[in-house]
Structure 1
Amino acid sequence: MAAPRSSARGGTARTGTKATKIPQVSWRDPRPAPLVLVFGPEEVCAERAIAGIRDYLRAEDPALEISDVRADDYAPGTLLSLTSPSLFGEPRLVRVSGVEKCSDAFLQEAVSYLNNPQEGATVLLRHTGASVRGKKLLDALRAGTGGGIEIPCLAVKRDGDRVDFAAGEFAAAKKRIAPAALRALVSAFADDLTELAAACQQLIRDVEGDIAEETVTKYYGGRVEVSAFVVADTAISGRYGEALVALRHALDSGADPVPMVAAFAMKLRTMARVAGQREPSRSLAQRLGMKDWQVDRAKRDLNGWNERSLGLAIQATARADAEVKGAARDPIFALERMVTVIATRAPFGE
């Protein structure tokens, strides 16, 4: 059996409040072990990890026996019964869900099982992290009892994390996607990681060759056109009329003014950090703690901008941020004024 690889995030992973001593394995490349803890709230990642372990074991032996157990509705003796060797010695996979709400009976037997895991059995424990229930079991497992591994499934909330997630989908499939296409796809599914994952897989299956921005627009144009980042990209590129139309589409589709301004602010901050820098994109990205493609995109966005116009845009965005959060009565006007300043690169009214 291949040795578990460390987490893609690197270093000693932390789940909850305690450092863990057992190996951390990426959910993208799961490997079985006598005990596997799949921990964290991100269900998409957890489902991939659980399916990956099943497929790995089944590829080793098609006679794999799979059993599912609910930790919150547990019949005493079930764990030992399902993990004990059968007459023909088939490998066993026992998937335990709901460990975050486990019964006392399960907790007691699972802790005992750590001290004597059955040969040929893989016990997979799914804990969402929604509660501290099962802490005794998790602490013992993380301390190394039973020879287990942990697969973190941390929440994907920030825009950068969603970009990394989507980029990982295409990298795993050895499929190239243009940075602009990746950004458009992520912004189109910014509120639902499950839908983003499904969209990535659809493009991977359907599209031959590299994936361009036009391809994403063809598939998901209805969603892309109303995203905050598309509005920001259009305004920053100086296409004033198109930017106002995109803004109206976004608002008519229910876009919230607050994250709309946040999208502009994020792009302008990146442009400001890159402006005036002469070093190669890779070294600059490393120094600034950014991705190479983010630096390249910011450099392209800076075409036609200067120190004065960038300063005006940042000031307009800061003013709009305050106004859409309650400092003014008309958040829509605040957005339109911000878009006007950014798209025309001139003070409002000039």
Structure 2
Amino acid sequence: MPTPARRPAVKSTRSAIPQLSWRAAQPAPVVLVSGPEEVCAERAIAGVRDYLKAEDASLEVTDLRADDYAPGTLLAVTSPSLFGEPRLVRVSGVEKCSDAFLSEAVSYLAAPQDGATVVLRHTGATVRGKKLLDAIRAGEGSGVEIACPAVKRDSDRFDFAAGEFQDAKKRIAPAALRSLVSAFADDLTELAAACRQLISDVPGDITEEVVQRYYGGRVETSAFAVADTAIAGRYGDALIALRHALASGADPVPLVAAVAMKLRTMARVAGSREPARALASRLGMKDWQVDRARRDLTGWNEQSLGLAIQATARADAEVKGGSRDSVFALERMITVIATRAPYGG
């Protein structure tokens, strides 16, 4: 099998070693996979393995735990075997590593074994192992770093899903992509699995109808669907969507967060006449987010938007412990937003 083409790496201003995207993982004597996003880290580590397998199918793979480490193991598993096969050593739990592992890993950087690739997974959950990370980032051990930061923003999830289909050379309609991201807004692992299922199962282009067919129930009850119907002024539909979402086990806190995020985007876009691309660039958003916010603003004014934001802030406090009746808090918020009037007014 031909070796995959190497992609150029970039060097971080805060690090002396190349920084690689998790979508373009490549081997090095030492590979640091850092950050909390487990989905991306798993892909990065699998990418390193696949790259090495493509170079030599006889690759030996060994898994170690840094928190349950037997002294001498790292040197033993990286040392050349009788037949000289390449070695891949995957080390998990570096953020809770033992003293023995930390000492031996730091020493290993001074003389990495020929033909061995050591992948170190550090979630960033603790500062444990900082001495090792600092040494790798300083350029010891001929290392590279693959950062896997948390995917939190809607735009980041959109980019993640779009990248899944781009990598698979699969076309997905923008509306279908938005529906898919909205349906799995709270779980990147589930979003990744949904993308893979569509890529595997659907022979042609992926349309919004396809997404509805596969995940229609999930889309209908998502937090963003509740927010969309309320913001559109569809009061009855919004209450039905809210009750359906709650009956399906939706948590009130993410529901309020989804509404708040859309209202904040509307407030940022309101009143601007800049072209969508220029405004999106200035605000750190996507073009489609600006276009969607402008459509959402139809029928809204400064006063009604202010009322909606205040109602959402109140609901946020109440569903986080400020009230014993979170359902009533949600229904009151939805009422203010959908009617664009004070509650009971």
Shorter-chain TM range is 0.7 to 0.9
Structure 1's unaligned 5+ residue stretches are 13-18
Q: What are the Cα deviations for residues 80-101 of structure 1, in whole angstroms up to 9, with x where unaligned? A: 3332333443322122223233
Q: Which one of 13, 25, 31 corresponds to residue 30 of structure 1?
A: 25
Structure 2 equivalent of residue 238 of structure 1: 233
Are 1:135 and 2:139 counterparts? Answer: no
C-alpha spacing 1:296/1:137, structure 2 compared with 1 (3 Å): same
Structure 2 equivalent of residue 147 of structure 1: 142
Higher deviation after alignment, 215-224 or 100-109: 100-109
Query: Structure 1 residue 268: deviation in Å?
Result: 1.5
Return the alpha-carbon distance in structure 1 between the equivalents of residues 343 and 327 of structure 2. 15
Return the alpha-carbon distance in structure 1 between the equivalents of residues 96 and 344 of structure 2. 60
C-alpha spacing 1:127/1:332, structure 2 compared with 1 (3 Å): closer
Q: Which one of 179, 182, 185 corresponds to residue 184 of structure 1?
A: 179
Are 1:166 and 2:161 counterparts? Answer: yes
Superposed CA RMSD: 2.6
Q: Which one of 25, 29, 43 corresponds to residue 48 of structure 1?
A: 43
Structure 2 equivalent of residue 204 of structure 1: 199
Q: What are the Cα deviations for residues 212-271 of structure 1, in whole angstroms up to 9, with x where unaligned? A: 333222212222222211011112223222111101111222333333222222111211
Are 1:121 and 2:130 counterparts? Answer: no
Q: Secondary structure at the match of 2:20?
A: coil
Higher deviation after alignment, 74-83 or 325-334: 325-334
Query: Structure 1 residue 140: deviation in Å?
Result: 1.3
CA contact (8 A) 2:155 2:286 kept: no
Query: Structure 1 residue 33: deviation in Å?
Result: 0.6
Q: Which letter does structure 2 place at the counterpart of 1:171?
A: Q
Return the alpha-carbon distance in structure 2 between the equivalents of residues 178 and 40 of structure 1. 31
Q: Secondary structure at the match of 1:28?
A: helix
Return the alpha-carbon distance in structure 2 between the equivalents of residues 324 and 71 of structure 1. 40
C-alpha spacing 1:341/1:65, structure 2 compared with 1 (3 Å): same
CA contact (8 A) 1:100 1:131 kept: yes
Q: What are the Cα deviations for residues 14-55 of structure 1, in whole angstroms up to 9, with x where unaligned? A: xxxxx4321111111101111111122322111111110010
C-alpha spacing 1:214/1:238, structure 2 compared with 1 (3 Å): farther
Q: Secondary structure at the match of 1:238?
A: coil
Are 1:105 and 2:100 counterparts? Answer: yes
Q: Secondary structure at the match of 2:101?
A: helix
Return the alpha-carbon distance in structure 1 between the equivalents of residues 261 and 128 of structure 2. 38
C-alpha spacing 1:82/1:329, structure 2 compared with 1 (3 Å): closer
TM-score after normalising by structure 1: 0.86
Return the alpha-carbon distance in structure 1 between the equivalents of residues 201 and 324 of structure 2. 47
Return the alpha-carbon distance in structure 2 between the equivalents of residues 72 and 325 of structure 1. 36
C-alpha spacing 1:77/1:340, structure 2 compared with 1 (3 Å): closer
Q: What are the Cα deviations for residues 110-133 of structure 1, in whole angstroms up to 9, with x where unaligned? A: 222211112222111122233333
Query: Structure 1 residue 327: deviation in Å?
Result: 5.6
Q: Secondary structure at the match of 2:53?
A: helix
Structure 2 equivalent of residue 229 of structure 1: 224
Higher deviation after alignment, 340-349 or 138-147: 340-349
Q: Secondary structure at the match of 1:202?
A: helix
C-alpha spacing 1:314/1:59, structure 2 compared with 1 (3 Å): same
Return the alpha-carbon distance in structure 1 between the equivalents of residues 243 and 316 of structure 2. 18
Structure 2 equivalent of residue 64 of structure 1: 59
Structure 1 equivalent of residue 209 of structure 2: 214
Return the alpha-carbon distance in structure 1 between the equivalents of residues 122 and 323 of structure 2. 45
Structure 2 equivalent of residue 15 of structure 1: none
C-alpha spacing 1:179/1:318, structure 2 compared with 1 (3 Å): farther
Q: Which letter does structure 2 place at the counterpart of 1:132?
A: V
Return the alpha-carbon distance in structure 2 between the equivalents of residues 320 and 74 of structure 1. 48
Q: Which letter does structure 2 place at the counterpart of 1:101?
A: K
Total equivalences in the alignment? 341
Return the alpha-carbon distance in structure 2 between the equivalents of residues 303 and 133 of structure 1. 51
Query: Structure 1 residue 349: deviation in Å?
Result: 4.7
Q: Secondary structure at the match of 2:244?
A: helix
CA contact (8 A) 1:184 1:230 kept: no
Query: Structure 1 residue 154: deviation in Å?
Result: 2.1
Return the alpha-carbon distance in structure 2 between the equivalents of residues 177 and 301 of structure 1. 23
C-alpha spacing 1:331/1:137, structure 2 compared with 1 (3 Å): closer
Return the alpha-carbon distance in structure 2 between the equivalents of residues 256 and 248 of structure 1. 12
C-alpha spacing 1:101/1:287, structure 2 compared with 1 (3 Å): closer
Q: Secondary structure at the match of 2:199?
A: helix
Query: Structure 1 residue 60: deviation in Å?
Result: 1.4
